[in-house]
Amino acid sequence: MDQQLQPTFGTASDVLAVRHRVLRNTYWLLAISMIPTVLGAWLGVQMKFSFFAGSPFMGFMLFLAIAFGFFYAIERTKNSGLGVAILLGFTFFMGLMLSRLIGQILGFANGVQLITTAFGGTAAILATMASIATVSKRDFSGLGKWLFAGVIVILLAALANVFLHLPALYLVVSVLAIAIFSAYILYDVQQIINGGETNYITATLNIYLDVYNIFTNLLALLGIFGGERD
């Protein structure tokens, strides 16, 4: 996989070629990142992995600490092969974190169907939003600050619900998360196309988080409204 190139100077065709290369490498690395995610989820289900189940607040805070630790390490190594390895380690960790939800969904009689539906729905959202970002002449860069604010609201609401346990709030957060991270795909893909993001490792991390959050929230909603007991 090509290492980072800086498209600062050169002809328009050279700059365009580099941007397409970053986009291609991003999609390839995104596809590869699904392997450790699936492996982590499978291993977590087999081990009945639980992240501070007895203390959801501590689990939530520890998760954020580990995740931001990975973010820092990826940022520091994004111009080297080590950055790819750390990114794949992060996606394995995220697979482990996903395993509890996967295990709950597999407890339904139609669990496999729900997972397949969530995967298909997520893939459709990714393809649609990425296509719009690629062909649209509209500038989506202004969405960045609003989407970031939306993510902060979601995190605060999710943290509050650790204590409140309100099903209605959980549903609202899930629906908002799907909408916000779908819009983030528009933003993140266009950042690559317009040259705002020139590092494919960082770009992959951004889009991976979009896809991961869409999938988990869509799967949770499908489990709530479509789960069938034996």
8 Å CB contact between 37 and 94: yes
In a domain, 1, yes or no: no
In a domain, 3, yes or no: no
pLDDT digits (tens, 9 = 90+) for 14-34: 778 888 899 999 999 999 999
pLDDT digits (tens, 9 = 90+) for 154-189: 999 988 988 888 999 999 999 999 999 999 999 999
In a domain, 5, yes or no: no
Q: Please provide the size of the chain in residues.
A: 230
In a domain, 6, yes or no: no
Q: How many CB atoms lie within 10 A of CB 98?
A: 21
Q: How many CB atoms lie within 10 A of CB 205?
A: 26
SS3 content of the chain, % helix, strand, coil (to 5): 80, 0, 20
Closest Cα partner for 215 from 134, 109, 94? 94
Which range of residues forms the domain containing residue 76? 12-226
Residue 53, SS3 per DSSP: coil
Average pLDDT across the chain, whole number: 91
- Structure confidence at residue 4 (pLDDT): 47
Q: Tell me which residue has tokens 């081990």.
A: 47
In a domain, 24, yes or no: yes
- Structure confidence at residue 52 (pLDDT): 67
Regions in the chain scoring below 70 on pLDDT: 1-10, 12, 52-54
Share of the chain above pLDDT 70, in %: 93
In a domain, 7, yes or no: no
**Total structural domains in the chain?**
1
Measured CA to CA, the distance from residue 229 to residue 109 in angstroms comes to: 6
- Structure confidence at residue 110 (pLDDT): 95
In a domain, 4, yes or no: no
In a domain, 138, yes or no: yes
